[in-house]
Amino acid sequence: MKAFIFASCGLLLLTACSVTQKSKTNVKFAKNPVVAHRGAFKKNGFPENSIASLREAIRLKCTGSEFDVRMTADDSLIINHDPHFNKLEIEKTTYGELSQYRLSNGEKLPTLREYLLAGLEANDLTRLVLEIKPSGISKERGKQIAERSVALVKELNATSMTVYISFDYDILKKVIEVDSAASTQYLNGEKSPEQLKTDGIAGADYHFSVFKKNPDWIGQAKKYKLILNAWTVNDAETMDWLLKSGFDFITTNEPELLLEKTRK
């Protein structure tokens, strides 16, 4: 009898796990192009890159919420835009030392694990747009950050929810090398759509001025079925132009304004 109960519980647990897994592989993302840059932080005065700003982007039903990943001296992956946190150089400081300081809303400095777990909670609409910041120490360390980030995303079964972006082309190549299913977008703006396609990069996520200078890249990217994304678009006029041009994503500090436009 005992064995039967154990077996039944195991089966139930397995079924529950596979349902969770299924929900993350059949995700139907929000049908708008709005990516909240560093989360939806601005309107409510949340700190950039906080879990509060991520949750707000999910609550708003943005199609994506962007955040920046860096690695501490003792190899912890954490979320912060600048190379410094409270005047401490992240790459040269341990996580223990850094986490003595809080974000302005009282949150602790989020680890990538905590951030991804928060982003996976009750969320099937908002992609997790994970920017891997290059290392100031070495190119090699940047690639280690990529490898470790991908490993964690895989461990949490979050591959289908995640988009990887970086200014460092080699970091994106490393992401693809360790996970061919990973979706990547390049940020730096100097590679043509043809080059991105050749190298297996899924999208061009360039400053909007790059597309203004090279308007033919928009058509080329569409021809190669690349994802088109632009950063960081905060004014109504540029938003209108990118919407008219059929961009898949628009990365903004003003997600509420852009959402309003897409509802018209």
Size of the site for Mg ion (CB under 5 A): 2
Q: Which is nearer to Mg ion, 131 or 179 (CB)?
A: 131
Binding mask 122-161 for Mg ion (x = CB under 5 A): ---------x------------------------------
DSSP 159-177: GGGEEEEES-HHHHHHHHH
Q: Name the residue number minimizing CB distance to Mg ion.
A: 131
Which listed range, 26-34, 56-64, 66-74, 246-254, lies at the site for Mg ion (CB under 5 A)?
A: 66-74
**Helices and strands (DSSP H and E) totals, the chain:** 11, 11
Helix axes 139-155, 112-120, angle to 10 degrees: 40
Query: How near is the Cβ of 78 to Mg ion at its closest, in Å?
Result: 14
Position among 68, 205, 248, 254 found at the interface with Mg ion (CB under 5 A): 68
Q: Look up residue 94 and give its two tokens.
A: 């341990």
Residue with tokens 């090398």: 177
Q: How far apart are CA 229 and CA 212, in angstroms?
A: 13
Q: Which is nearer to Mg ion, 56 or 131 (CB)?
A: 131
Q: Which is nearer to Mg ion, 165 or 197 (CB)?
A: 165
Q: Which is nearer to Mg ion, 65 or 76 (CB)?
A: 65
Which listed range, 17-25, 42-50, 65-73, 141-149, lies at the site for Mg ion (CB under 5 A)?
A: 65-73
Q: Which is nearer to Mg ion, 171 or 197 (CB)?
A: 171
In Å, the largest CA–CA distance within the chain is 73
Which listed range, 26-34, 40-48, 61-69, 147-155, lies at the site for Mg ion (CB under 5 A)?
A: 61-69
Q: Should residue 168 be labelled a site residue for Mg ion when binding is judged by CB under 5 A? A: no
Residue 233 phi/psi, 5-degree rounding, is -100, 110
Alpha-carbon distance values, 120 to 65, 162, 198, 216 (Å)? 12, 10, 32, 37
C-alpha closest to that of 115 among 62, 66, 168: 66
Q: Should residue 205 be labelled a site residue for Mg ion when binding is judged by CB under 5 A? A: no
Query: How near is the Cβ of 68 to Mg ion at its closest, in Å?
Result: 4
Query: How near is the Cβ of 251 to Mg ion at its closest, in Å?
Result: 8
Which listed range, 16-24, 60-68, 118-126, 202-210, lies at the site for Mg ion (CB under 5 A)?
A: 60-68
Residue 148's Cβ-side half-sphere holds a number of Cα atoms within 13 Å equal to 19
DSSP H/E element including 145:
helix 139-155
Residues that bind Mg ion (CB under 5 A): 68, 131
